[in-house]
Amino acid sequence: MWNDPIQFEARVERIGKLFKDAGADVPLRGGRAFEFGCGQGHLLNRLREGGMEVEGLETSIRLVGDCESLFQIKAQYGTVARYEAPDSQFDLVLGFHMLEHLDRPSLLFQKARSMLKTGGYLLLEVPIPHLEKCSPIQKLDQTYGYGNLGHLYYFTKETLPKYFERFGFETVGTYSYAEEGLGSGGFLGRKVEP
């Protein structure tokens, strides 16, 4: 689903609008971007085509190989917990549908904050279904609902911005969309100094 060209183009369009509405440019020519859970590297490739230097982290060794063979993108094999984040080197850190799988989501925020330059952006997209309002079938959905045993946390439009604030980010934009009646949302934060 995530590599479907129609889905991918819709994601790129949402990201572009999100940054435009926040008064920022993406891709930032000459800037650097890092993606947690970069998959095969499609989004990083698009950012690179726009003039950014890109890197990624992926938990699948096969997908790390795909990044290299498909796009010649440097991706490391590993987890957020084991990743040694460099200090203040990136203008943009991204993560799509991976935060809900982490046993310690706060660790990603800590690492992203360390990695970003002051004023840099953190963009996260997560499932945000209103599970209390969903039908029993939707609640048990294996992609978005409680039926997905890989989802360790569920976030809402109200809870995720609190993570951003707690870790020194100002939330500057959001978007939401629905797939098969179940919601997802993107949240854009800018690193601010304490």
Q: Which helix (H) or strand (E) holds 96?
A: strand 90-96
Predicted pLDDT of residue 3:
67
Predicted pLDDT of residue 68:
96
- Say how far apart CA 192 and CA 157 lie, in whole Å: 21
Residues forming a β-bridge with 4: none
Find the Cα–Cα–Cα–Cα dihedral 97, 170, 158, 134, rounded to 10°: -30
Helix (H, G, I), strand (E, B) or coil at 108: helix
Looking at residue 22, the DSSP 8-state letter turns out to be T
Chain centroid, CA 170 distance in Å:
16
- Say how far apart CA 186 and CA 21 lie, in whole Å: 13
Predicted pLDDT of residue 129:
65
Predicted pLDDT of residue 7:
82
Helix (H, G, I), strand (E, B) or coil at 150: coil
Q: Are 100 and 154 in contact (CB under 8 A)?
A: yes
pLDDT tens for the chain, residues 1 to 194:
566 788 888 889 999 999 999 999 888 889 999 999 999 999 999 999 999 999 999 999 999 999 999 999 999 999 999 999 889 999 999 999 999 888 899 999 999 999 999 999 999 999 886 666 777 777 677 776 667 767 767 788 888 999 999 999 999 999 988 776 677 889 999 999 87
In this structure, how many other beta carbons lie within 10 angstroms of the beta carbon of residue 9?
11
Predicted pLDDT of residue 127:
83
Predicted pLDDT of residue 145:
66
Q: Are 61 and 79 in contact (CB under 8 A)?
A: no
Dihedral sign, Cα of residue 167, residue 86, residue 12, residue 63: negative
